[in-house]
Structure 1
Amino acid sequence: MQQHTSVSVRSPERQGSSRLRTRLTRWGLAGLLAAGTLLTSQAGPAGAADNPYERGPAPTVSSIEASRGPYAVSQTSVSSLSVTGFGGGTIYYPTSTSDGTFGAVAISPGYTAYQSSIAWLGPRLASQGFVVFTIDTNTTLDQPDSRGRQLLAALDYLTGRSSVRDRIDSSRLGVMGHSMGGGGTLEAAKSRPSLQAAIPLTGWNLDKTWPEITTPTLVVGADGDTIAPVATHSEPFYESLPGSLDKAYLELNNATHFTPNTSNTTIAKYSISWLKRFIDNDTRYEQFLCPLPRPSTTIEEYRGNCPHTS
């Protein structure tokens, strides 16, 4: 370390002792600075060292209810002619690469529907720090088991062949779907236990019991659903999931089977929180899931197990 000559006139003995004190002081400060740097690097921004998958600033109620999150979003279309196992779709992804890789989610539409019916979820979720693939199915009449396989085929394409594969952490994947796509979401989670999160939206499936699922699952139903009534679909789906599983049941108030087809703040808020909590293991979002949300003008009922263990 460079030493600066004092302008004071001192005796040789005093000059020597002064220089020594200066060196010790500077060395001490350097040590403190080094220690501070070490502590800072260990703590990292927002505890990033504790969880390297955290993405984005600390969340607030307003940030997860907002129509867009902190990330700018780009999108790319995938032709059905360029893929196998599903019908193509649209990939939405954070434009920036400065934060590293992201978790990814594939989303299926419902019976007779196209990806346009769930397209609003693409930019909304991607802007919170996910790569999102809204897909078309092989035919609009595909049943839940087929839609489950197509969701998995879409994830495989996303992580293996897509133009954004380098932006994705292939170990952090989830599935969502509406109606028959929601039933397909359960099928996908049953078939691939490595999935980190599943969210069926007003799901429909003839199979009512899912004790095999080990993926954290948020079941979303609607109180006014007459196509997949909660009493014969979402509620038994949720109740049949293992008691030890991180799971939740959100019943939307004053909602219908088709509520997930248009922008919905309550669906977005709890879907974002669920995906962040279990795909990114981001415990900053636990506050929105536990304690359990209370009934409100938009929530008819919410059930779940808290605190979450995954």
Structure 2
Amino acid sequence: MHDMTLTRRSIQISYRLRKGYTTGGWIREPSTWLLRTVGVLAVVFVVSVSVWYLRNIIRAKVKVHIGNPKVLPAEPFDQSSPKRRALSDLKKVKSATAEDFPRLIHQLWKTTAIPEQFQDAVSSCRKLNPNWEYRLWTDESIDKFIASKYPLFYERFTSYKYPIQRVDVARYFILLHYGGVTIDIDLKCRVPLDDILRDKVSYDLVVPETDPAGVTVEFMAAKSRGQFLHQVAHDLNRTPPDYVLPYITIIFSTGPMYLTNKLVDYPKSDEIFVIPQKTYREEYFRNLHGGSWHRWDYVLIRIVYVLISPLSLVLITCFVCCFLIYRRKQNRSKHTTIV
């Protein structure tokens, strides 16, 4: 009888070992544990980044005040039309206390050779603004400009991981130093810059609203030595240059969300005019959507923003956790029944 009990016990132990079970619990392959751990960490990371991103978006939506343009040229003008004559009359009206924006158009590209797909956009802005001086900044001229005019920032400037970060930084310093407007080469001008800026001469900076929230840096108009841009440039050294994910790094270290956060925190927000997105996209410019700096995580972030609200994000996270707990209990119950 004793031998039969030992034999039965030996069979049970042998069965458990073959199935990966010991008295301490079930044994799983190291690779399985590793995969599950990496999976859980990835989910936690994505959820954390998404919540942080959405928090910034909500903050920008609540605190960025959109302006109300007085001039909205919606179609090509006939010089003899009443609307055109009215706009011509407005050109004679000047602010009694504010200077005009310097008549300088700044555009930035790698070299002097503008890609063919953007030449029409560049030409449109030059043709519509014949009385504005045009300057094309290349990577080489930008590097020399920062090195000579702002040498204390040059080390940080050259340390940025992505070229678009250096381009964004160059916009701020160029406008701070010279004033004028910066226009991305994939923006096609629909109206003269005078029509856009005429009623905004009392502001130090003009930027457009963007989607999903905040402002964009693809077009900016500024007066030289403005206090806000000085603060923007000064705080670049205090901002982390890398946020792990490429798209997040670009927009939060130097790009649109960096500028948006500076705008939100700036106490004199009445010095900055934010062009409504509808006006900007439909009346002032047409975007040819270069978007060459967008990275793989841009798609993920957009999906998170469009499809997942903060509440649903929490609910999905809770559902995943409950499902994992349920599966674990079910597996334990199954293993107990077998033995």
Task: Please give the range of the TM-score, normalised by the shorter of the 2 chains.
Answer: 0.3 to 0.5
Greater Rg over alpha carbons, structure: 2
More helix by share: 2
More strand by share: 1
Larger RCO, structures 1/2 (Cα 8 Å, 6+ apart): 2
